[in-house]
């Protein structure tokens, strides 16, 4: 009985680990790709600053070259909403993946 428990626990650990690693790698990989605009595998200072400039332009909604407190606040709110959406989507995706995992195993 004890042996059986250990075996199933080991099987669970093995099947769970790659999924976790994949999720993590995917997340950081996407972040990197976003910055590495010319896709040469490194993020140069110019690429990093380009990305920062893009973020700045996104925040500066009236395009006057300055970010007002209102604009910063609006960006914060928008980001909050986006995060919420992302979390919902991620939750849905995770539930889908969970189903697929079971299909693969059986
Ligand atoms: Ca690059
Ligand atoms: Ca502005």
Q: What is the pLDDT of residue 1?
A: 56
If asked whether residues 30 and 48 sit together in one domain, one would say no
Could you tell me the distance, in angstroms and rounded to a whole number, from the CA of residue 78 to the centre of ligand 2? 16
Whether residue 71 is found in the same domain as residue 99: yes
Distance 77 CA to ligand 1 centre (A): 31
Q: In this structure, are 82 and 51 located in the same domain?
A: yes
Q: Does 39 fall in a domain?
A: no
Ligand 2 centre to CA of 86 (Å) is 27
According to DSSP, residue 35 is labeled: H
Same domain, 100 and 68: yes
Whether 60 and 98 share a structural domain: yes
The pLDDT confidence band at residue 94, using thresholds 50, 70 and 90, is very high
> What pLDDT score was predicted for residue 38?
95
Give residue 93's pLDDT band: very low, low, confident or very high (50, 70, 90): very high
Checking if the pLDDT of 72 tops 80, the result is: yes
31 and 20 Cβ atoms separated by less than 8 Å: no
Show Cβ contacts of residue 35 under 8 Å, excluding neighbours closer than 6 positions: 43, 47, 48, 51
Counting ligands in written order, which one lies closest to the CA of residue 60? 2
pLDDT digits 0-9 by tens, 28-59: 788 888 899 999 999 999 999 999 999 999 99
- In this structure, are 59 and 98 located in the same domain? yes
Separation of CA 88 and ligand 1 centre (Å): 32
Segments forming the whole domain that contains residue 5: 1-34
Instruction: Specify the number of domains making up the chain.
Output: 2
**Same domain (yes/no): 65, 98:** yes
Clarify whether residues 26 and 48 are in a common domain.
Answer: no
Q: Quick check: 87 pLDDT over 70?
A: yes
pLDDT of 26 > 70? The answer is no
């Amino acid at each position: 009985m004890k042996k059986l428990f250990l075996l199933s626990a080991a099987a669970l650990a093995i099947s769970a680990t790659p999924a976790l690693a994949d999720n993590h790698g995917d997340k950081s990989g996407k972040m990197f790709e976003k910055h590495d605009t010319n896709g040469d595998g490194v993020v140069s200072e110019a690429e990093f600053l380009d990305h920062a400039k893009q973020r700045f332009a996104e925040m500066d909604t009236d395009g006057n070259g300055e970010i007002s407190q209102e604009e910063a606040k609006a960006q914060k709110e928008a980001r909050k909403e986006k995060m919420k959406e992302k979390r919902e989507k991620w939750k849905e995706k995770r539930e889908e993946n969970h189903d697929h995992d079971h299909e693969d195993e059986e």
